[in-house]
Structure 1
Amino acid sequence: MNISISSNGTNSYWLVEATLLLSISAFGGLGNMLVIFVICKTKKLQNVTHYLIVNLAIADMVVAYSSLDKAVWKIWTNLNGGEMNTFAKVFCKTSAYCMFLSFIASTSFLIALSIERYYSILKPFENRLDRRKLKILIFGVWFLSFIFGIPQIFTTTAPSKFHYQCFVPQISGAFNLCYFISLTLVLYVIPLVTMTNIYIRIGIYVLNNKIPGDPTKDTELLHQKRNHRVATTCFVITALYMMSALPMAINFIIIAFSGNADDDSTFAEKGGLILYSNLSQAIYVLSCAYNPVVYNCLSSDFRKAFVGLFCGCRRRRNNQDSAEYPITGTKRSTFIRA
């Protein structure tokens, strides 16, 4: 595919791409806004686990905004004949910065979520996150995400020989190699190994420590089932995210060993790199759209809260009063209060 885009051959390509980006942005933004709204308005969902999920939803909204930025950039540059004026450059850099900021924040909150689940299930009586520690954690993650995303502003631009493409060119060989390899290790490889180890330990513990269905232990049994259900939800969220982020991690490695986008490398080689970069970003952006669906599918309590809020179910208010201490024999599937 000719990435340089002639005025005749690729009008439909950029238009379809921009339309898809706008659709993902709208669906992801609205879906994650609903996730945040439901959790904030439902008392029994206001716990450490769900506060971390709220921040994951915020990170997904940042991705949705990045998708919107990129769509606006594509529309602007194509309607203006590929001219990279100040407006287009700002949208190009903002899109890359927001996507990278979300990458850091999402990975960090997923690690925090897995650790929180580990202590909740395996070591429930040890010191866990209280509100003060949680606030410090959330502030620290977002602060570091904003800081570590700054280099993307300076490395992201549109090379002169590749019109209509917002790319990440090389500043210097040493910088490229160290920066992007470090990103791959810190933001993907190490978190993947860490979270895999945590969820394997949780899985082994769950399999080896089942409580028999003794009627005298109904409350404890229900508590355990809720714990396991939340752990399953967190695991699915993490697995889907790491799969969607894998192409981005591979893209970092490719960029680390690639030459400058304006050097003498063949057009086909750079065209392939840019095409893969766009594809990896598109796969990553999709995660912001399907995460709200995952929350809704895996949590019956979330579904009930959603229906209660938007369908005017008055029973929700009465159910909240008894959610913290479930009544024996009542069938109710909820997230555990952390």
Structure 2
Amino acid sequence: MRYIPIHNIKPGMVLGKTIFDKNGIKLLNMGNLITNDYLERIKSLGYPGLYIDDELSKDLQIDNIIIDTLKNEAVQSLKKIFVSTSTDSSSYQDEINFLSSNLLKIIDEIISNKDVIVNMVDLKIYDDYTYYHSVNVAILSLIVGNALKFHRAMLIQLGMAAILHDIGKKFTPIEILSKPGMLTDEEFDIIKEHPTNGYHFIKRFFPSISSATYVGILQHHERYDGSGYPSGAQGEGISLLGRILAVCDVYDALVSDRPYHKAYLPSEALEFIQGGSGSMFDPAIVITFCYKVASYPLGTAVTLSNGEVGIVVENYEEFNTRPKVKIVKNNIVTHYIDLKSDYNARNITIVGIANL
């Protein structure tokens, strides 16, 4: 199985990972052929790419960090909280209970796989970006928190802050959220209200949630050097949860197609995160995050500095940019190069993404 951008998907390819519509209902199961009709529908939903199975990748297994059904349940539950216009706190209780139950299952999966590396490109539906983004930020944040040896109660606080970090956007006009292009200063000022709006919304409607969670939501746009908002907090004046959310929020936004930018490659997004270490982000959080997220996810087709092309088949925490690569020539696998451990490969680097 390997990931291919949507513009390179052709009818007749075999789907490698089940995809869902915006209601969380299966659209096409893994193993099915992609027809012209399905491809057009997939494109209309805004999928940036798909996982496919072919001869070059049939022996490559890429496991989900979180099973699709659990992730989709969290997305649908979060969507109901976002779109509700109720002013009665009891009307939200069922959804927050369901979301909390999902979050506990996500935490259990992450705790049980402490050595996990984020190795998969996420398949987001464009129209539901905010909900998928929120769940992704929760997963990334929990992976970081687990790597930092958070106890379970603190993981729950972190996960709840992450999955609800953008809840204040329920009060932001949709024409601003979905505007194609740069925002005006006035529009950006409205966007900047969402951490505070989210803080007050959660505090009012979900009073049983911990204060650490409220503060994490409030501070996810603060920056380590004090240049963020809403209060310009800096350094350890930003809560630990807020500092983790800041990194995970920016990373997932960068690797997503948005009205104002095309998705970054994971390697490009990690370069951005590393470049912001000590200014935008807490350096200690950046180091942990970069250990846990692959620069070149499994199945990525890459070009090496020696001119060879291949597919990434294994990644290593401590050598993020030096994976094991299956070399392909004329659609035939010729050999493997382990950029981490092969002595003869010490001067070989990945220089770009290939089209295989």
TM category, shorter: under 0.3
The structure showing larger relative contact order (alpha-carbon pairs under 8 Å, at least 6 residues apart) is 1
Larger radius of gyration: 1
- Give the helix-richer structure, 1 or 2: 1
* TM-score for both structures, normalised by structure 1: 0.28
**Which is strand-richer, 1 or 2?**
2
Instruction: Normalising by structure 2, report the TM-score.
Output: 0.27
